[in-house]
Amino acid sequence: MKAPVTVAIYVGDDCWGGLALLAREGFAIAGTLHARNPDLRASELFRVRLVAMGSAPVRSFTGPALQPELTLADMPAPQVVIVPPFYLPLAARAPIAPALAGWLLQVHAHGALIVGMAGGMRLLAETGLLDGREVTGNLSDQRVFARHYPEVRFTPDAPLLIDDRIISAGSVNPCLDACSYLVSHFYGEAAAHKFSRYTNTVTQPTYERVAIRNTAFKQHGDQRIRQAQEYIERCFKQDLTVEGAAQRTAMSVRNFSRRFQHAVGMPPHLYIARCRGEYAKDLLARPGLSMLQVALQSGFRSEAMLRRTFGQLFGMSPTAYRSGAAPPSGRQA
């Protein structure tokens, strides 16, 4: 069994202690579900530590103290860093200590995934790590980003955004989706699916779940293509075309298709179809929806198109999937 993934959750005065602890407990839940063992130590997938500038307790936003387990200087190089929300009600910049900025830049340079949750994105913006990236956060911070961080493509209407090794979540439920993404990234879709089913109370499928299932197709270095993938994952239910996705990346259709195929391993039209098919899977699990409703809500133009594409992608009909049949060996996309 491989060593647990090391996770550092940064805490400081006025942080949202509840979400910091929610992330910590979420990773513990993922381990117990994956191992089918309630023993936290025996089932540990993630080794999570609360870290701070110093060793003294910090005061969370509503007052309860949080005791850091390690200082930034003492934390071994983490594989994941989580910056939870902080209470920042003013529209002015919120400068961070040079030591914190330097530490965040260093761990990211060494390969760590950085997760910012809601108001925590303002701390990350101070480091410059977000420049040129598309991120989400609190809607109330839109003016702050426009005024003080114009190099950041701030998209607060997106609940969850994954831009290379920067993951941003806009509110409470997307914070759990971000944790699910990390479970998928390190331990695979099956472990993430168990975690999401246990922790996510949203009955309507969301594009974040589609993004999580597509994690394996984003392990490449083409940033513009990854941005196109994330755009497709947000817009597949619309009348989305390869031409529209190419225009979004400021590339010709020919160049876009060639680069997409090289990076992702499939052409962009198939990726669009895959997103629609994955979304349809979630709709098929909901009772009461007709096949036509599933098709139209997933972005397919007809029930026939849903059936044909679903069969090509997953090796079974939507009806068979709904009844719980397993796909034939070797046919799943």
Whether 213 is in a domain gets the answer no
Whether 205 is in a domain gets the answer no
Q: Among residues 185, 200, 215, which one ends one of the domains? A: 200
SS (H, E, C) the chain: CCCCEEEEEECCCCECHHHHHHHHHHHHHHHHHHHCCCCCCCCCCEEEEEEECCCCCEECCCCCEECCCEECCCCCCCCEEEECCECCCCCCCCCCCHHHHHHHHHHHHCCCEEEEECCHHHHHHCCCCCCCCEECCCHHHHHHHHHHCCCCEECCCCCEEEECCEEEECCHHHHHHHHHHHHHHHHCHHHHHHHHHHHCCCCCCCHHHHHHHCHHHHCCCCHHHHHHHHHHHHHCCCCCCHHHHHHHCCCCHHHHHHHHHHHHCCCHHHHHHHHHHHHHHHHHCCCCCCHHHHHHHHCCCCHHHHHHHHHHHHCCCHHHHHHCCCCCCCCCC
Residue 207 has pLDDT above 80, yes or no: no
Band (pLDDT 50/70/90 cuts) for residue 282 is confident
Whether 216 is in a domain gets the answer no
Quote the CA–CA distance of 312 and 323 in Å, as a whole number.
Answer: 18
Residues 6+ apart with CB under 8 A from 287: none
Whether 94 is in a domain gets the answer yes
Tokens of 147: 């005024």
Segment 284-296 shows an average pLDDT of 88
- The domain spanning residue 232 has which CATH number? 1.10.10.60
Looking at mean pLDDT, say which of 28-32, 216-220, 221-225 comes out highest.
Answer: 28-32
Whether 329 is in a domain gets the answer no
Whether 299 is in a domain gets the answer yes
* Domain identity same for 181 and 232: no
Range of the domain at 264: 223-323
Number of domains in the chain: 2
Band (pLDDT 50/70/90 cuts) for residue 189 is confident
Whether 90 is in a domain gets the answer yes
Task: Find where tokens 């003013």 sit.
Answer: 90
**Tens digit of each residue's pLDDT (9 = 90 or more) over 59-90:** 999 878 999 999 999 998 999 999 999 999 88
* Domain identity same for 29 and 141: yes
- The domain spanning residue 29 has which CATH number? 3.40.50.880
Question: What value does the mean pLDDT of the chain take?
Answer: 89
Give the rounded percent of residues in the chain with a pLDDT score beyond 70.
94
* Domain identity same for 31 and 123: yes
Segment 117-145 shows an average pLDDT of 94
Q: Among residues 167, 200, 233, which one ends one of the domains? A: 200
Residue 174 has pLDDT above 90, yes or no: no
Whether 208 is in a domain gets the answer no
